[in-house]
Amino acid sequence: DAGITQSPRHKVTETGTPVTLRCHQTENHRYMYWYRQDPGHGLRLIHYSYGVKDTDKGEVSDGYSVSRSKTEDFLLTLESATSSQTSVYFCAISVLAVSTDTQYFGPGTRLTVL
CA atoms within 13 A on the CB side of 43: 12
Give the interface segment with another protein, choosing from 12-20, 42-50, 68-76, 79-87 (CB under 8 A).
42-50
Residues in contact with another protein, shown as a per-residue x/- string from 55 to 84 under the rule CB under 8 A:
---xx-------------------------
Residue 41 touching another protein (CB under 8 A) = yes
Q: Does 48 bind another protein (CB under 8 A)?
A: yes
- Cα(29)–Cα(104) distance, rounded to whole angstroms? 11
Tell me phi and psi for residue 80, to 5 degrees: -150, 95
Alpha helices in 4-114 (DSSP H): none
CB of 102 to another protein, least distance (A): 5
- Tell me if 64 sits within 8 A of 47, measured CB to CB: yes
Q: Does 10 bind another protein (CB under 8 A)?
A: no
The smaller minimum CB distance to another protein, of residues 16 and 26, is found at 26
- Residue nearer to another protein on the CB measure, 77 or 105: 105
Instruction: Determine how many CB atoms are found less than 10 A away from the CB of residue 112.
Output: 14
Contacts of 62 (CB under 8 A, 6+ apart): none
Residues near another protein (CB under 8 A) are 1, 31, 33, 40-45, 48, 50, 58-59, 90, 94, 97-108
